[in-house]
Homo-oligomer: A and B are copies of this chain.
Amino acid sequence: MTNSAPSFDAEFRGWLETLIAWRRDVRRFSVRPVPPDVIDHLLDVAQLAPSVGNSQPWRWVRVESPGKRAEIRANFLDCNDKARQAQPDRRADAYAALKLAGIDRAPVQFAIFCDRETGQGHGLGRLTMPEMLEYSVVGMITNFWLTARAAGLGVGWLSILEPARVAADLAVPPSWNFVAYLCVGWPEEEHLDPELERYGWQDRSDAGRKVKIV
C-alpha cells in the first residue's frame, strides 16, 4: 500500500524473458500427479491478475470425474473432425497428424468461464466494450500459464470445443461464458520452438512486430 515498490534487476528480467520464450502450449503430459498444494498456490497467485473494474470475473470448474472428462473428450473429437473437414484438402492430412490436445493424460483439467453478469466492478470499463470481461479472464489465464511454467508445469489451452456444449455438460449457470479448457501437468518434452512450428503447420512471422505510427 506504500510507495516502497520493488525494483526488478537485470538478472530477473533476463529470466522473465527466458520464461516467456520457453512457455509452450503443452499437449504431451506425464501422468505423474501434481501435488494439490502446487495447484492451490497457482490459483492464489492467479487472483492477482488484472481485471476490468476489479471485477475478477473468472470462474473455475475442475473436471475430475471420468464421465465428465469423457464428455469433454467427445466434444473435442466432434469439433476436431469438423475442423479437419474445414481444412483445404492439401492441409487435411497435416491437420490430422497434429496432436492438439492433452486431455487423454493431463492429470489436472480446468474449464474456465467468465461470469458475464457479475456485479463486481459495477460495470466500470465495459459499457462500450463488454468483451473486457472475457479479456480479463484471458489475462488471468496468461498469468497462471507463466507461473505454472515457472513451477515446471505445462499448460495446454484447448479451444477445439463447442462452448455451449461445455457449459451444458458441466451444468454451469447461464451467465457463465466458456473461455478456456486448460490441461495442466508435468510436460513429457520441453521445446523452445512451438509445436505447430516444429511440425510444419505455421511458422512465426513479423506481421505482429510492425508498428504503424500515426
Contact status B152-A7, CB under 8 Å: yes
Contact status A202-B60, CB under 8 Å: no
Q: A171–B214 Cα gap in the complex (Å)?
A: 9
The listed residue with most B CB atoms (<10 A of its CB), out of A15, A98, A100, is: A15
Copies in the assembly, this chain: 2
Find the B residue at minimum CB distance from A19.
B8
Q: Enumerate chain B residues within 8 angstroms of A140, measured Cβ to Cβ.
A: 208
Q: A150–B208 Cα gap in the complex (Å)?
A: 22
Interface string of A36-61 (1 = CB under 8 A from B): 00000001111111101111111111
Q: A5–B149 Cα gap in the complex (Å)?
A: 11
Q: Enumerate chain B residues within 8 angstroms of A211, measured Cβ to Cβ.
A: 43, 60-62, 110
Contact status B22-A150, CB under 8 Å: no
Find the B residue at minimum CB distance from A5.
B190
A191 smallest CB distance to B (angstroms): 7
Q: A59-B208, A135-B180 are in contact. List 19 more A-B contacts (CB 8 A).
A: A1-B193, A3-B190, A5-B22, A12-B12, A16-B150, A44-B209, A52-B159, A56-B205, A56-B207, A60-B210, A63-B214, A82-B128, A95-B124, A100-B125, A120-B202, A121-B196, A131-B134, A139-B139, A146-B146
Chain A contact residues, CB within 8 Å of chain B: 1-8, 12-13, 15-23, 25, 43-50, 52-65, 68, 79, 82-83, 86-87, 91, 95, 98, 100, 110, 115, 118, 120-129, 131-132, 134-135, 138-143, 145-147, 149-152, 157, 159-163, 170-172, 179-180, 189-194, 196-198, 201-214
